[in-house]
Amino acid sequence: MQIFDTIESLRSYLLQQKQQGKRIGFVPTMGNLHQGHLSLIKQAKSQSDVVVASIFVNPTQFSVGEDLERYPRTLEQDQTLLIEQGCDVLFIPEVQTMYPKGELTRVSVKKISNLYCGASRDGHFNGVTTIVCKLFNIVQPDVAVFGSKDFQQLAIIRQMVKDLMIPVDVQAAPTYRADNGLALSSRNGYLTEEELAIAPAIYQILTWAKASVQNKQSQAQIEKDAQAKLVQAGLRPDYFHICHADTLQAATDEDTHLVILVAAYLGKARLIDNITFEI
């Protein structure tokens, strides 16, 4: 695996690859890689000739008081996993490379960036769209793979790519779950053993809510009951919303393509998950 930490060196390597007619796949991450990330690499590999992963803990997507400093950084282990998965290129820029002195620009997708996670995490999605736009401009991939686990993030990136006419095919990879249903996440590492036993309740409650929506029960009541179930399980709900899967607006009785989005606090972690379905 080729490793680069400067924009120039990565660009010059990728230019050679592109000149040979190679198709570039891209998977941006913040590192501390797990099977969820690796499933994205695998999907990118199936769609391209050269797979580029990036590891960058992006400061602008963390709000004040969040876990930027203690976010797990496990570069050596990540490199081993990427090599095992057959990743071709790893980009690991420093903060000053991505945000050089004097930079002034932020990329902001209006409306959907302020909903749900954006309402709880001030400026979070502007940080995400800014860094993903920069990375897209550096790598210029043919295809980029993002996890459905971060459903709102995926919707916002798709909107950005469409609005800014960025020539990249954005693909979604399914959420990778442990056998007990818990969506893999770097933030699961913050959980104690006791909390790890509680966390799978999130997916159980999503599954229950999906069945209840399909059984035509009142959506407002389902949202209320789901929050109560989260509390009963030992979590502190941030939000639980039944939405239209494309617009992310609150679902109406006529909508058929739905997603349920949830965020909840558990110990030192804030966990998110979702479930999509048709009715």
Cβ of residue 212: shortest distance to ligand AMP, in angstroms? 24
Cβ of residue 177: shortest distance to ligand AMP, in angstroms? 7
Q: Where in 46-105 is the site for ligand AMP (CB under 6 A)?
A: none
Judged by CB under 6 A, the residue of 91, 176, 203, 240 near ligand AMP is 176
Tell me how crowded residue 6 is: count the other CB atoms within 10 A of its CB. 12
Number of H helices, E strands in the chain: 10, 9
Give the binding range for ligand AMP (CB under 6 A) out of 168-176, 211-219, 238-246, 249-257.
168-176
Residue 175 touching ligand AMP (CB under 6 A): yes
Cβ of residue 61: shortest distance to ligand AMP, in angstroms? 9
Judged by CB under 6 A, the residue of 4, 125, 146, 203 near ligand AMP is 146
Tell me how crowded residue 262 is: count the other CB atoms within 10 A of its CB. 25
Tell me how crowded residue 207 is: count the other CB atoms within 10 A of its CB. 14
Instruction: Say how many residues touch ligand AMP, by CB under 6 A.
Output: 17
Strand order in the sheet with 2-4: 2-4, 89-91, 50-55, 24-29, 143-147, 169-173
Judged by CB under 6 A, the residue of 88, 150, 223, 273 near ligand AMP is 150
Judged by CB under 6 A, the residue of 41, 131, 132, 184 near ligand AMP is 184
Which residue, 15, 11, 26, 19, is CA-closest to 88?
A: 26
Residue 186 touching ligand AMP (CB under 6 A): yes
Judged by CB under 6 A, the residue of 183, 202, 259, 263 near ligand AMP is 183
Residue 29 touching ligand AMP (CB under 6 A): yes
Q: Which is catalytic among the residues 34, 37, 124, 244? A: 37
Is 37 one of the catalytic residues?
yes
Judged by CB under 6 A, the residue of 4, 10, 36, 62 near ligand AMP is 36
Question: What are the distances in angstroms from CA 71 to CA 57, 102, 124, 147, 240?
Answer: 8, 26, 15, 19, 25
Question: What are the distances in angstroms from CA 207 to CA 148, 172, 204, 279?
Answer: 16, 21, 5, 14
Give the binding range for ligand AMP (CB under 6 A) out of 146-154, 199-207, 214-222, 266-274.
146-154
Closest CB to ligand AMP among 141 and 147?
147
List of long-range contacts for 12-15, beta carbons under 8 Å, 24+ apart = 13/89, 14/50, 14/52, 14/89, 14/139, 14/140
Residue 147 touching ligand AMP (CB under 6 A): yes
Judged by CB under 6 A, the residue of 185, 212, 227, 274 near ligand AMP is 185
The DSSP-derived string for 225-246 is HHHHHHHHHT-EEEEEEEEETT
Q: Residue 230 CA to chain centroid, in angstroms?
A: 22
Closest CB to ligand AMP among 40 and 235?
40
Q: How many CA atoms lie within 13 A of 204 on its CB side?
A: 12
Catalytically annotated residues = 37
Q: Which residues bind ligand AMP (CB under 6 A)?
A: 29-30, 36-37, 39-40, 146-147, 149-150, 173, 175-176, 183-186
